[in-house]
Every structure is written in C-alpha cells, then in structure tokens.
C-alpha cells in the first residue's frame, strides 16, 4: 500500500526536484566547466600553434583584449559541443556562451581606463564568468536538472 509520502518522494525524483535534481544540476555545471577547460586548452594550443607557424606573435601581455576574447571563444566552443551533445537547445547554448563573453564588456573598458591591469584581466574574467554561468543555469533550472 502506498502512502502519501511514498508518492511525494517518487514524484519529486521523477520530476527532477529534490536531491537528485540538484545533484544533476551540480554535475552538469561541473561537466560544463570541464568542457570549457578542454576547449580552452585544446583550441588555445591549436590557435597559438597556427599563429606561431605563420609568424604572428600573440600573447596576453601584448594583446590582453584579444587574448581575453580568444579564451572566451575557445571555452564557448568546448561548452557548445558538450551542451549540444547533451541535447540542449541553441537558445540555451547561446545564453551560456553569452556568459563567457559578458564579463569582457565590463572588463575591457576598465582595462583601457587603467582601473585593472592586463595581468588581472583573465583572472577577473574567470571569477565573473563562473557565477554568470550558474545564474544562466538557474534561469533554466528545469533544463539543467534542478
């Protein structure tokens, strides 16, 4: 005989709410961080290798804005591949990519105004992008498992 509590627990797990739902949400967040890191490392190596091969020097010290955008692009590619493999829609994927580039909108002007240094640019980008990703995921938490 089923009790009301059994039905509530079963329904909660089937609809993605409760512990399992939040665990899926957290796991998905971590998976996307890993996919971004892989994208950044793999595409970063390829980009810098190709540029070196054609004789173009490209460093974050010399061109911090370009390095910032290249890093955000590389991370977005890795995350896009993973999200599409997991069946996410293009709007959800593009929102998440926007979280990679949005910090640059605030940071590049601050760099140009000498409020922040080129050395701190990448660190601040990562510090801002990770919580922005989390907020985007919360916006569509039903899609991400919470």
pLDDT band, very low/low/confident/very high, at 18 (cuts 50, 70, 90): low
> What distances in angstroms separate CA 16 from CA 10, 12, 35, 43, 88, one per listed residue?
10, 6, 23, 34, 16
Domain count, the chain: 1
Tell me the pTM.
0.77
pLDDT at 7 over 60: no
Alpha carbon distance 47, 41 (integer Å): 10
pLDDT at 2: 47
More confident residue, 133 or 11: 133
Identify the domain containing residue 81 by its residue range: 4-144
């Amino acid at each position: 005989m089923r009790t009301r509590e059994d039905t509530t627990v079963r329904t909660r797990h089937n609809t993605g709410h409760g512990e399992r739902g939040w665990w899926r949400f957290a796991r998905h967040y971590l998976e996307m961080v890993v996919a971004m890191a892989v994208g950044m490392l793999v595409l970063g190596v390829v980009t810098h290798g190709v540029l070196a091969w054609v004789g173009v020097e490209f460093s974050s010290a010399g061109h911090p804005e370009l390095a910032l955008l290249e890093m955000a692009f590389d991370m977005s590619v890795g995350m896009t591949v993973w999200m599409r493999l997991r069946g996410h829609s293009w709007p959800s994927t593009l929102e998440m990519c926007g979280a990679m580039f949005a910090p640059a909108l605030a940071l590049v002007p601050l760099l140009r105004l000498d409020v922040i240094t080129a050395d701190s640019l990448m660190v601040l980008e990562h510090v801002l992008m990770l919580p922005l990703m989390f907020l985007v995921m919360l916006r569509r938490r039903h899609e991400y498992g919470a």
